[in-house]
Structure 1
Amino acid sequence: MRAALFDQPGDPAEVLHVRDIEKPVPRRGEVLVRMIASPVNPSDLMFIRGVYGLKPKLPATPGFEGVGVVEGTGGGLLGFLRKGKRVAVLNDGRGNWGEYTVTTARQVIPVSADIPDAQAATFFVNPMTAVALTQDVLAIPPGSWLLQTAAAGALGKMIVRLGRKFGFRTINIVRRPEQVDELKALGADAVFTTNDDLAERVKAATGGVGVPFIVDPVGGELASRVLSCLAPGGRMVLYGSLADKPLRIDSRSLLSGGQRIEGFWLGHWVKQQRVLRMLKLIRQVRSLMREGVLTTESVEEFPLDRVREAVARAATPGKGGKVLLRLSGP
């Protein structure tokens, strides 16, 4: 089989290469999946650079999520039930950027034919993070304010649509002025750019009290700036580190205001949930995907042998959608 690999961390467009390797053999509790497509997520690029929370065991194949067909099993009831089914694939072990992969049977979810490949390939990371953050971790009540950074990204747009669906209001921070109207058209209540005086604009929008909830995938200077927008007793959840810079915290403000800063990593959160909650979440994501609330816009597809072009395109600012690797036919 053919797969994308890197032998050392570095610039994805330079260190990735495609070569023939042995097709993996599933062990008990695992399934063999013929991959159809996989997105190029920011977490994948960080993984290749060696700056993600999971460190690669070199040589490594990237790709944390995707869609494929289960063609084999190493044994176990769940693997047997998944055999022959088209599934969304979560993979934090072997990687999905190859013609075949192996993962645990618990990490593949059957998807119906009415969900296109591009949506099924992005079933886990962004949709589940958006729902888990807003409905579980923060449990944002209707009418309340949520501020988010990187709002023009795929996950940010999902949170805007979830706000319209469940009745919470969103303040959205973007980098470029042209993204303001785009988010307002989706239903964003307020959109500011990183060039604005964020503390003043947010206080004006919220009647001077600030926001009770903030979610941020960036970190660094931007996360430090929006922290000043947090209302007394508010919570800020960091779910990424795109800036790869530390957060500056005014401890006196946190102490006097009773505010909280916490981290969220979907992989860790999922492992802490009960089976019934995960089944409910999966059904919820499927339903919201069908409604168009959790849809992912795709900007371009690349075959596996053009993986370097794919990662370079994915790293382009303002590309307007998700880049997909097409790994095999349906």
Structure 2
Amino acid sequence: MNAVVFDRTGPPAEVLELREVPAAEPRRGEVLVRMLASPVNPSDLMYVEGKYGLKPTLPATPGFEGVGVVESNGGGVLGWLRKGKRVAVINDRVGNWAEYTVTRARQVIPVPDDLPDEQAATFFVNPATAVAMTRDVLKVPASEWLLQTAAGSNLGQMVIRLGKRAGFRTLNVVRRREQAAELTALGADAVIVEGDGPIEEQVRAAVPGGVRYAIDPVGGATGTAAIASLAPGGRVLLFGSLSDEVVSVHPRRILSGDVRVEGFWLGSWAKSQPVLRMLRLFREVGELIRDGTLTSPIAATYPLAKVREAVTHAAAAGKGGKVLLRIGERN
């Protein structure tokens, strides 16, 4: 089969190549999936660069999520039930940027027939993260403010739409001024441009006293400012490290301000949840994709053979949506 492979970590456009490799065989509890499509997420790029929390065993194939059809089962009732079904594929071991992949049977989720491949491919990482953080972990109440950095991202836009639906208000940090008007039109309650001054000062001008809830995928100075923007008793979830820089917080800020700085990694969180809870989450995600709340705009689609062009596009600012690898077609 054809698969995207890298032998060393580094810039994705330099180290990734398409190769013919042996197809993996599913073991008990696993399934073989014929891949249809997979997005290029920031986590995939960081994985190739060696900067992600999960380190690759080289040579490796990227691709944490996607959509495909279960071709065979290595043994087990769940895999047998999934055989022949189109599924969202979650993969943290082998990688989805290949014609075929192997993953655990419990990490493939049947998707409705009316959900396009492009949306089914992006079913897990952004939509489930947005719902889990705001509803299940932070439990942001109606009318409360939620501060989010990197708000112009696909996930950031989902959070804005979730806020309009659930009734909480979003205070959104962006880098580019043109994003402010776009997010306001989308339903953002307030937008902060980083270049207009210190984030924490702008936050307190909009919400005197600071915010009780915040999420940050950036880290570095931006994540540090998100922590500084918390009101007493506030909580921030750090769910990414896009800047590859550390956040800084004085111990007194945590002690006297009673603030909580927590990490959130969807894969780890999902593994700790009861099966029925995750099934309810996946069902809700499907419904919210259908009604447009968690839809992922697609900026461009590339074949596997043009993976270097795809990762270059995915890393560009202002690309306007997800970059997708089209791997196969439905029979």
Number of the residue aligned with 1:142: 142
Number of the residue aligned with 1:202: 203
Number of the residue aligned with 1:278: 278
What fraction of aligned residue pairs are identical, expressed as a percent?
62
Instruction: For 1:21-36, list aligned pairs within 5 A.
Output: 21-36=21-36
TM-score, structure 2 as length reference: 0.98
Instruction: For 1:166-177, list aligned pairs within 5 A.
Output: 166-177=166-177
Number of the residue aligned with 1:299: 299
Letter in 2 for 1:32: L
Q: Secondary structure at the match of 1:160?
A: helix
Structure 1 residue 329: Cα displacement:
1.2
Instruction: For 1:202-281, list aligned pairs within 5 A.
Output: 202-206=203-207, 208-281=208-281
CA contact (8 A) 2:303 2:325 kept: yes
Structure 1 residue 3: Cα displacement:
0.2
Letter in 1 for 2:204: K
Whole-Å Cα distance in 1 between the matches of residues 5 and 329 of structure 2?
21
Number of the residue aligned with 2:5: 5
Q: Secondary structure at the match of 1:34?
A: strand
Whole-Å Cα distance in 2 between the matches of residues 14 and 116 of structure 1?
31
Instruction: For 1:9-158, list aligned pairs within 5 A.
Output: 9-158=9-158
Q: Secondary structure at the match of 1:195?
A: helix
CA contact (8 A) 2:31 2:104 kept: yes
Whole-Å Cα distance in 2 between the matches of residues 43 and 258 of structure 1?
31
Deviation by residue 1:38-85 (Cα, 9 ceiling, x = unmatched): 000000000000010011010000000000001111111111110111
Letter in 2 for 1:28: R
Runs of 4+ displaced beyond 4 Å: none
Q: Secondary structure at the match of 1:115?
A: coil
Structure 1 residue 199: Cα displacement:
2.2
Structure 1 residue 243: Cα displacement:
0.5
Structure 1 residue 275: Cα displacement:
1.1
Structure 1 residue 318: Cα displacement:
1.1
Q: Secondary structure at the match of 2:196?
A: coil
Structure 1 residue 184: Cα displacement:
0.6
Whole-Å Cα distance in 2 between the matches of residues 204 and 222 of structure 1?
17
Structure 1 residue 196: Cα displacement:
2.3
Letter in 1 for 2:295: T
Letter in 2 for 1:144: E
Q: Secondary structure at the match of 1:36?
A: strand
Structure 1 residue 252: Cα displacement:
1.7
CA contact (8 A) 2:227 2:261 kept: no
Deviation by residue 1:128-182 (Cα, 9 ceiling, x = unmatched): 1000000010000100000000000010000000000000000000110000011
Q: Secondary structure at the match of 1:120?
A: helix
Whole-Å Cα distance in 2 between the matches of residues 251 and 215 of structure 1?
20
Number of the residue aligned with 2:314: 314
Whole-Å Cα distance in 2 between the matches of residues 121 and 114 of structure 1?
13
Deviation by residue 1:233-265 (Cα, 9 ceiling, x = unmatched): 000110000001011112222211100101000
Q: Secondary structure at the match of 2:43?
A: helix
Number of the residue aligned with 1:323: 323
Whole-Å Cα distance in 1 between the matches of residues 105 and 63 of structure 2?
17
Letter in 2 for 1:9: T
Deviation by residue 1:94-121 (Cα, 9 ceiling, x = unmatched): 0000000000110000111111111100
319-328 or 189-198, which moves further after superposition? Answer: 189-198
Structure 1 residue 205: Cα displacement:
1.7
Q: Secondary structure at the match of 2:328?
A: coil
Structure 1 residue 314: Cα displacement:
0.4
Gaps of 5+ in 2: none
Gaps of 5+ in 1: none
CA contact (8 A) 2:35 2:327 kept: yes
